[in-house]
Amino acid sequence: MTGAVSKLAAPRPAGAPPPPPASPSPSPPAAPGAPSCDAMASAKEGNGAPTKRTTLHDLYDLQGQSPWYDNLCRPVTDLLPLIGSGVRGVTSNPSIFQKAISTSNAYDDQFKQLILAGKDAESAYWELVIKDIQDACKLFEPIYDQTDGADGYVSVEVSPRLANDTQGTVEAAKWLHKVVDRPNVYIKIPATAECVPSIKEVIANGISVNVTLIFSIARYEAVIDAYIDGLEASGLSDLSRVTSVASFFVSRVDTLIDKMLEKIGTPEALALRGKAAVAQAKLANQLYQKKFSGPRWEALVKKGAKKQRLLWASTSVKNPAYPDTLYVDPLIGPDTVSTMPDQALLAFIDHGTVSRTIDANVSDAEGVYSALEKLGIDWDEVGKQLELEGVDSFKKAFDSLLGSLEEKGNSLKKTVSL
């Protein structure tokens, strides 16, 4: 790991050149117990010099899809080699921060200062997270500027404890947006039934949003409607700086439906394993094309509105029997984002195929979707179950981390009082 976060703290003056690539001077060794950011390590050449052209550059330049990195840990300057490799944004979630903070001592000094200044564990957690997000935003700001606000975003999620709290989510999103105070931050809001109205209100307040935990086409349509409703309700004459992505989860869909197909056990059912997620994603893209066209949308475009891009999330392969680029290669198309954790990112850089695939074989996708329905697979129920599991997973990660931070804080206070 290279670089020092402290170098990123000062804001870049308007018109100043973008930050240089990672310094070639020797860097201090990584802290013991630092989380393994495999893609970060493998992206480096020599002493952190800019890397050669990769398939990630081709993905964006030739097909218009933005590759993002689904991970974040300190020091965030470790992202520089990945940016050199073609990464154009970052997503984070409570599980990512739980891993980063609990397995590294890179946060210890700041945490100690916060606790000794009288902060409680949760307040300290948010300060740790906000610093990482602000520092990452500075690294991606040149991409944001070069694309006139179309790319170069860093996502941070509201507390997962608010997943069923409409107004609490709105207030948390406003607060996060205010304290991070970077133009290229996305506030992540889950696509729960309670938070779909939150999305509309937050967008109406001029705040850019990454809508997360979308598992079904029905819920995706509600998310698009919330975005468009929010733009219309904003009253803004210039909508160009209010943007959004809709994070449509992929691999988890196959994980659940494959189990259901194995339980059915017929040859027809077993032949559909590993096909549900990509089929549904392709149909989601068809819905995207339909919803972001026509007179209603065109009226917003005249005010500078940008389409809410589809973002493919959960792109790592869970079943080792499947190709490791299964959730990247078939979902490539213009004005989309693919956020990849280490495994998927490294696999795609190594042997991914750059070709427009998102609108290929759509009739096959429709066939898979309806064949699964005929077998008794209820897509809406699948979506609801995966949403519950996703929210629960993030809550557990959040609660676990806060518990360990509280213990750490209490022991620090005892040490000081001795």
Q: Which residues are catalytic?
A: 188
| Phi and psi torsions of 142, nearest 5° | -60, -40
Token digits of residue 15 = 């018109």
- Which token pair is 80? 């520089």
Place of tokens 């990630």: 56
For residues 377 and 363, give the distance between their C-alpha atoms in angstroms, rounded to a whole number.
Answer: 19
CA distance 227 to 209: 9
Q: Which residue has the tokens 């500078």?
A: 304
Closest CA to 188 of 206, 207, 171, 209: 209
Q: Which pair of tokens denotes residue 229?
A: 């409703």
* Whether the Cβ atoms of residue 365 and residue 331 lie closer than 8 Å to each other: no
Going by DSSP bridges, is the β-strand pair 309-313/244-249 parallel, antiparallel, or unpaired?
Answer: parallel
Please give the Cα distance from 179 to 184 (Å, whole number): 13
Report whether 367 contacts 393 (CB < 8 A). no
DSSP for 71-125? Answer: ---SSGGGHHHHHHTT---B---HHHHHHHHHT-STTHHHHHHHHHTT--HHHHH
